Amino acid sequence: RFEEQIAALNAQPEPTKNDQPDQGLSAQVTAIVKGEIARVQSLMDEIDGKLADTSLEMAAEMRLRRERADLEAYLKGLRYSQSKP
């Protein structure tokens, strides 16, 4: 879903030098990124719940920890993209 939205935004024509930045497009991108941040945080919370289970096998725990670390790095990138002017 996120990838489809980004592809649709990338398919829009590039503005020329004389065009003013499209504030509507910027707001759309911000909304999409905020939605993706919420989705990733939800996935991380779900993984945290699974990791709290003491009966979890070590292989599953390692896989979940790696997946959570990947999501955390992705989340940091999303947050960084929002901090740019």
pLDDT at 21 exceeding the cut of 90: no
**Within-domain flag for 13:** no
CA distance 55 to 48: 14
**Within-domain flag for 12:** no
**Within-domain flag for 5:** no
Total domains in the fold of the chain: 1
**Within-domain flag for 67:** yes
**Within-domain flag for 56:** yes
- This prediction has a pTM of 0.69
Domain limits for position 51: 23-83
* pLDDT (0 to 100) of residue 78: 92
**54 versus 24: which is more confidently predicted?**
54
**Within-domain flag for 6:** no
* pLDDT (0 to 100) of residue 84: 67
pLDDT at 45 exceeding the cut of 90: yes
* pLDDT (0 to 100) of residue 2: 75
Average pLDDT of the residues in 67-82: 94
* pLDDT (0 to 100) of residue 15: 60
Residue 9 to residues 17, 26, 44, 52, 84, Cα–Cα distance (Å): 19, 10, 27, 39, 18
**Within-domain flag for 66:** yes
